[in-house]
Amino acid sequence: MTVLLSGVLAMPPAQASAPQATTTPTGPEAPARADLFRAAGERHRVPEPVLLAVSYLQSRWDAHHGAPSVDAGFGPMHLTDARAALATTHHHHHTDGDEDPRGDASRPALARHETPEDPARLPPALQTLDRAAALTGLPADRLRVDPAANIEGGAALLADHQRAAGLAPSTDPAQWYAAVAAYSGATEAGAARRYADDVFRLITTGASRRTDDGTAVTLPATPVRPDTRQLERLHLKSTAPGAECPRDLGCDWTPAPYQMLSEEPGDFGNHDLSDRPHNQAVDYIVIHDTEATWDTTLRLVQDPTYVSWHYSLRSADGHIANHLRAKDVGWHAGNWYVNSKAVGLEHEGFLAQGGQWYTEAMYRTSARLVRYLAKQYDVPLDRAHVIGHDNVPGTTPANIAGMHQDPGPYWDWDHYFDLLGKPFKAQGRTTSPLVTVHPDYGSNTEPYYCGDTSADLCPAHGSASITLRTEPRDDAPLVTDIGIRPSPGTWSVYNHAARVSTGQKYVVAERRSGWTALWYLGQKGWFKEGPAHARTLPANGPVARLRPGLASAPLYGRAYPEPAAYPADIPVQPLVPLPYTLQPGQSYSVGQTVNGEYYHAKTFELAGHTVVRGALRYHQVQFGHRIMFVKEDDVVLTPASRMPSVPN
């Protein structure tokens, strides 16, 4: 969406002397990251495997150079300071910009809501940095930016949770189940159990990676059977049953209300009933971030006058709340065609405050949920079907500029698709003109700015996006998106006018002296390709080009039927072209081919709803940063394997 303000097998116990993390220093800085974990664990009497596994599920051991996560968490241990973020927050996910989240022009636009957060009523999970400061005596500023202090604070918190649960320090990781569950911040037993199980599963399987200090950290595989009975010591509330979710995720059923708001026939909220996939296929899973705290997110989705989505995911622990059955239609993506064929996932976060990373716990539960949904509803696991809100097109020229930008350039699509079990790989011949965008996330530090002007730079951080220029030179202007503004795009973190993202497929238009041009929004968009930052992979798939004899072809933001397909009692929805055209000589990647559909759902009772299907067919193309639709009769399709190579 946009911005609402704002996720064992029984084994012998571990040996008293647990294996230690290993490190491979590659630079002059010392101590290395693994040494920090070892030292903090010893000082606070926290078993090193426990400290490492908890940190991995928060940050994968990265410090992010002091940059906050999207829910204002800092450092390897994700110590949170949401109060500071809220002090400067202006944005609300579904009330910022001009987007109508329902995206159905045949109905009145939804009323905007102002939902200010109360910094004085934040849950403890969003203000753990204060507690870490009190326990360690270290100043808050140091806990935010110094990895050693941050790990010290996290170890102190774990030890504090162990004491609060009435448990003595122990060298046996199995005796830390309650403390780990408490570190999650979960108030629901199912969520705390799932988080703790994930931590101990990680201890059992082990992990290793090179972190952002240039050193390698390893958690050796340590089979352990945790004492899960300790969870009762936390006195957490029961998880609400009934969620449409894999059982092991421990999801809550927190239903969005469906009710009449007045005596007017079409005045109801906050979603539409449907019968998917029997009446319409589910083609999309849309990834959002909320720009809201968890409590505010749940309050909003339970407001019958507000909007709706199917699932919310909490940042600190990855907990999932289910609000709508997948068969029903949520109001979240700003495009009625996409909404009627999509499941929406909201991830707790504050991108509007320059948040630059998402927790591993939330990535993992989100990926498990998406794998489940994709299997249930036959959704292909690729970037033409698993899309961000920032990939959803405007429905008409008037609302393109108001479409939302989440989850933004810091959502790590590469890592996410690894977790989905569908990593991006080279396909076909190495000289294929069709390519998959695949920058190195960690080193791809685009110079975005997070405030209102270019002087307010975001902290340097890895990104999943590559910015395109009009010519192959470093000082060339950025590409212009005429639907957003008549002037070139900007480096604003919220402006996708000149940006391509990991996993998206484009056709190479030209290569010149280390620069690559992609066909993008009817023009050539250039970037400097190299192994460290901007990279592409050869790809397979169909490619659309203009049918010979035509001067151009219009692009559409929705695949609606032709007028003749509508019954007499259903108003015809106009086929409104966007201000872009496909020109001779250009080519674009095709994600799927569909028949035009319109879901007429303007009455409270499901019996009054109708799916209008037409003979008009469309190809979904990756025309810019957002997907769009072109009529089948306006283009010809060619497999990338049969297209000529683009010379270097």
Kindly tell me if the per-residue pLDDT of 565 is higher than 80.
Answer: yes
By C-alpha distance, which of 496, 492, 547, 302 is closest to 394? 496
Average pLDDT over residues 24-34: 64
Collapse the DSSP code of 164 into the 3-class scheme (helix H, G, I; strand E, B; otherwise coil) and give the result.
helix
Collapse the DSSP code of 230 into the 3-class scheme (helix H, G, I; strand E, B; otherwise coil) and give the result.
helix
pLDDT of amino acid 83: 82
pLDDT of amino acid 459: 85
Q: What is the pLDDT of residues 546-562, one digit of tens each?
A: 999 999 999 999 999 99
Kindly tell me if the per-residue pLDDT of 398 is higher than 50.
Answer: yes
DSSP state of 62: -
Both tokens assigned to 183: 């570190």
Q: What is the pLDDT of residues 217-236, one digit of tens each?
A: 999 999 999 999 999 999 99
- The pairing of beta strand 320-322 with beta strand 311-313: antiparallel
Kindly tell me if the per-residue pLDDT of 30 is higher than 60.
Answer: no
Report the alpha-carbon distance of residue 21 to residue 174 in Å, rounded: 18
Report the alpha-carbon distance of residue 286 to residue 299 in Å, rounded: 21
Gyration radius from the chain CA atoms: 25
Q: Model-level pTM greater than 0.75?
A: yes
What architecture does CATH give domain 22-234?
Answer: Orthogonal Bundle (1.10)
Say what percent of the chain tops pLDDT 70. 91
Both tokens assigned to 554: 């219009």
Q: Give the DSSP letter string of 403-438.
A: ---TT-TTS-HHHHHHHTT------S-TT-SEEEE-
End-to-end CA distance of the chain: 39
pLDDT of amino acid 16: 30
Q: What is the pLDDT of residues 203-216, one digit of tens each?
A: 999 999 999 999 99
Report the alpha-carbon distance of residue 258 to residue 262 in Å, rounded: 13
Q: What is the pLDDT of residues 371-389, one digit of tens each?
A: 999 999 999 999 999 999 9
Lay out the sheet containing 523-528: strands in order across: 523-528, 515-520, 505-512, 434-437, 536-538
| 76-to-175, 389, 588 alpha-carbon distances in Å | 23, 28, 41
Report the alpha-carbon distance of residue 641 to residue 648 in Å, rounded: 18
Q: Are 576 and 397 in contact (CB under 8 A)?
A: yes
The angle at the Cα of 472, spanning 408 to 543, to the nearest 5 degrees, equals 65
By C-alpha distance, which of 255, 249, 252, 251 is closest to 324? 255
The angle at the Cα of 516, spanning 451 to 454, to the nearest 5 degrees, equals 15
Higher pLDDT, 314 or 7: 314
Question: Which of these ranges, 32-36, 69-73, 151-155, has the smallest mean pLDDT?
Answer: 69-73
The angle at the Cα of 492, spanning 142 to 416, to the nearest 5 degrees, equals 70
Kindly tell me if the per-residue pLDDT of 185 is higher than 90.
Answer: yes
Residues of the chain with CATH 1.10.530: 22-234
Q: Are 168 and 222 in contact (CB under 8 A)?
A: no
Q: Are 191 and 316 in contact (CB under 8 A)?
A: no
pLDDT of amino acid 21: 40
Collapse the DSSP code of 189 into the 3-class scheme (helix H, G, I; strand E, B; otherwise coil) and give the result.
helix
By C-alpha distance, which of 439, 391, 434 is closest to 415? 439
By C-alpha distance, which of 383, 270, 389, 341 is closest to 558? 341
Q: What is the pLDDT of residues 439-473, one digit of tens each?
A: 999 999 999 998 888 998 888 899 999 999 999 99
Q: Are 205 and 235 in contact (CB under 8 A)?
A: no
Report the alpha-carbon distance of residue 566 to residue 611 in Å, rounded: 10
By C-alpha distance, which of 366, 357, 388, 355 is closest to 284? 388
pLDDT of amino acid 153: 98
